[in-house]
C-alpha cells in the first residue's frame, strides 16, 4: 500500500511538473508571435533587429516542431489544454504589459508600447527557464527521469530575445522594473497561476472532455 501511494505521489509530482513546463513554454511562444508581429510593423525591423527577430522565430519553430513530434496524436489535446491556460492568464499578462508600459511612459521612453511587449516576452521567457529548473529540482527526489526534461528549456530562445532587447534598449535609460510594485505583483500572480494545481487540473480535464478518444 505504501509503495503504491509513493508511486502515485511520484506520478502526480512528475505530471504537474511536465504540464507546468509545457504550459509556460506555450505562453512564451504566444507572446513571441505577438511581439514579432508588432515589431515587423515598426521602423526598427531592419538590419540587426531583423536578423535577430528571424533567429527568434526559427528557434521557436524548432521548439514547436519538437513538441508536435513528441505529442503525436495528443497534439490536439495539448492545444486545447494550452487554450485553457491562455484564457486564464490573458488578463494578467495584459496587466503586466500595461504596468511595464506605464513605467516606460513615466520615463518618456519612445515606442513604449512595443518595448513593453518585448520586455513582457523577455521576462516570461526567462521565467520559463527558471521555472523548468525549479520543477526539475522539486520533482527529482520523486522521479530521477525528470532530469531528461532539460531539452524543453528555452535557453536559446531566451538568449535571442534577451539579445534583441539589448539592441532595442541601446541609448535608452535603464529602468529597474523590480522597483515597480505593479510589475512585481503582476508577475507574482502569473507565477502563482502557472503552478496552481487546480488550474492545471482544469486545463487537463477540459481537454480530456474535448478529446475523449486521445
Q: Can you tell me the distance from the alpha carbon of 32 to that of 54, in angstroms, rounded to the nearest whole number?
A: 11
What phi, psi does 154 have (nearest 5°)? -85, 50
**Residue among 176, 38, 43 at smallest CA distance from 117:** 38
User: Confidence class of residue 212 from pLDDT cuts 50, 70 and 90?
Assistant: confident
Residue 1 has pLDDT above 90, yes or no: no
User: Confidence class of residue 196 from pLDDT cuts 50, 70 and 90?
Assistant: very high
Output the pLDDT for position 173: 82
Q: Can you tell me the distance from the alpha carbon of 198 to that of 205, in angstroms, rounded to the nearest whole number?
A: 10
Which grid cell is 191?
507565477
pTM listed for this prediction: 0.94
Which grid cell is 11?
506520478
* Sign of the CA dihedral running 175, 126, 72, 80: negative
Which grid cell is 166?
539589448
Amino acid at each position: 500500500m505504501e509503495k503504491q501511494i509513493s508511486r502515485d505521489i511520484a506520478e502526480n509530482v512528475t505530471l504537474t511538473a511536465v504540464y507546468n513546463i509545457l504550459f509556460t513554454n506555450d505562453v512564451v511562444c504566444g507572446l513571441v508571435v505577438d511581439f514579432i508581429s508588432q515589431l515587423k510593423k515598426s521602423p526598427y525591423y531592419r538590419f540587426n533587429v531583423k536578423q535577430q527577430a528571424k533567429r527568434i522565430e526559427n528557434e521557436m519553430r524548432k521548439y514547436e516542431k519538437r513538441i508536435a513530434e513528441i505529442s503525436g496524436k495528443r497534439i490536439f489535446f495539448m492545444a486545447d489544454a494550452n487554450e485553457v491556460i491562455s484564457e486564464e492568464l490573458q488578463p494578467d499578462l495584459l496587466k503586466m504589459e500595461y504596468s511595464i508600459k506605464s513605467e516606460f511612459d513615466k520615463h518618456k521612453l519612445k515606442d513604449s508600447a512595443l518595448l513593453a511587449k518585448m520586455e513582457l516576452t523577455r521576462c516570461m521567457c526567462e521565467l520559463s527557464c527558471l521555472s523548468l529548473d525549479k520543477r526539475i529540482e522539486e520533482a527529482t527526489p520523486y522521479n530521477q527521469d525528470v532530469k531528461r526534461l532539460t531539452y524543453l528549456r528555452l535557453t536559446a530562445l531566451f538568449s535571442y530575445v534577451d539579445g534583441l532587447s539589448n539592441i532595442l534598449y541601446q541609448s535608452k535609460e535603464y529602468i529597474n522594473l523590480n522597483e515597480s510594485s505593479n510589475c512585481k505583483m503582476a508577475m507574482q500572480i502569473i507565477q502563482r497561476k502557472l503552478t496552481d494545481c487546480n488550474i492545471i487540473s482544469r486545463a487537463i480535464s477540459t481537454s480530456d472532455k474535448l478529446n475523449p478518444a486521445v
